Amino acid sequence: MLLRKTNSIFKVINSTLLDLPRPSNISYSWNFGRLLGICLIAQIIRGLFLRFYYTSEITEAFNSVNQITRNVNIGWLIRLTHANGASLFFILIYLHIGRGLYYISFYNYYTWIRGIIILLVLMGTAFLGYVLPWGQISFWGATVITNLLSAIPYLGEDLTVWIWGGYSIEKPTLIRFFSLHFLMPFLLLLLIIIHIILLHEKGSSNPIGASFNIDKVSFHPFFSSKDILGLLVFISILLYIILLKPYIFTDPENFIPANPLMTPIHIQPEWYFLFAYAILRSIPNKLGGVVALFMSILMLLRCCFSFKSNYFTPIYPLNKFMFYRFSVIFIFLTFLGACSVEPPFIGLSQIFTILYFSFFMLAPLTCKI
């Protein structure tokens, strides 16, 4: 009986994964989605091991992270892989979204919408995880970002106090952030499974832009070999960062224990939030900045809602120009988010914020024949 059930499971895997029909012309840029799934599972496993030694006490959190890094057997490897893996996770997801914009994959709007929800949950999970080391930037970054909720009319002040568990960031805040950071990856895993199911119902997009493609081949061995190569490149990059530049993505201020009485000179989030942070700071009004912050992500939904045609060409020159223009804007906003709040960076942030949102106004018009 057990052997029969095992054989049936292997048949399901073989029919759903190995023999899955795929467009014959998809390139290596379609690897990012599968790498993201592997990266999430690896992050969950590493986070589980870190949980064994981490202490969610404001007096012990910083020391427990040092204890993991210095005294726990291969703790340094698990901790650095987890921290740098988060940065590589965001690099992959930005490339994944960029590929979707370039090849107009948002015509499959159900899958695209679920993907944006995944991005929002992922950003929330990453923010909560960045607070846990309880260094200076972790503490003050959490203070600045959670204070933004106070800009919400009528409910803002009460909502901020409720999230803090008091009138400032203290022990209840850290416990809540740690609990949510531990649970949200499992929600991410569920959303990704739904995302994959919706993708398989309609099929993958492809570089020529057809909404249906009769020229398909099985997933294995034509694309499994590409996935293996992509995974090896990803592991090589991760090992290079861990072994040679382990703290390249870490702010030096975060090696100082959190001190509520001493504010760092320059508070900034992790690099993958800097584009949104630059947009937030470019708006003089606090409520307007919070709205612009959320709209910088939600504007991705406009693409699928404003695009209804089943006939399009992603290789249309104007569409390619708009995508490369958007990529340059995104990079400049990331740079400006790390700069001081002073001229000329404030004016440049406002200019690039306008250019950023203009992409979502004009891009759907450029991908129609």
pLDDT number for residue 312: 53
280 and 242 within one domain: no
Q: Name the domain count of the chain.
A: 2
User: pLDDT tens digits for 321-341?
Assistant: 888 999 999 999 999 998 888
Question: For residues 360 and 326, what is the distance between their CA atoms, to the nearest angstrom?
Answer: 9
Type of residue at 231:
L
What is the domain extent for residue 315? 268-369
Note the pTM of the prediction, 2 decimals. 0.89
150 and 59 within one domain: yes
302 and 235 within one domain: no
Task: Report, as residue numbers or ranges, the catalytic residues.
Answer: 200, 204, 226-227, 270
Residues near 156 by beta carbon (within 8 Å), at least 6 away in sequence? 149, 150
363 and 226 within one domain: no
Output the DSSP codes for 53-107: T----TTTHHHHHHHHHHTSTTHHHHHHHHHHHHHHHHHHHHHHHHHHHHTTGGG
pLDDT for residue 365 is more than 80 = no
110 and 74 within one domain: yes
Residue 91 lies in a domain: yes
CATH value at residue 337 = 1.10.287
252 and 329 within one domain: no
295 and 243 within one domain: no
Question: For residues 253 and 187, what is the distance between their CA atoms, to the nearest angstrom?
Answer: 31
CATH value at residue 252 = 1.20.810.10
342 and 243 within one domain: no
Written in H, E and C, the secondary structure of 206-228 is CCCCCCCCCCEEEHHHHCHHHHH
User: pLDDT tens digits for 82-109?
Assistant: 999 999 999 999 999 998 888 877 777 7
115 and 45 within one domain: yes
Residue 18 lies in a domain: no
User: pLDDT tens digits for 290-312?
Assistant: 899 999 998 888 877 766 555 45
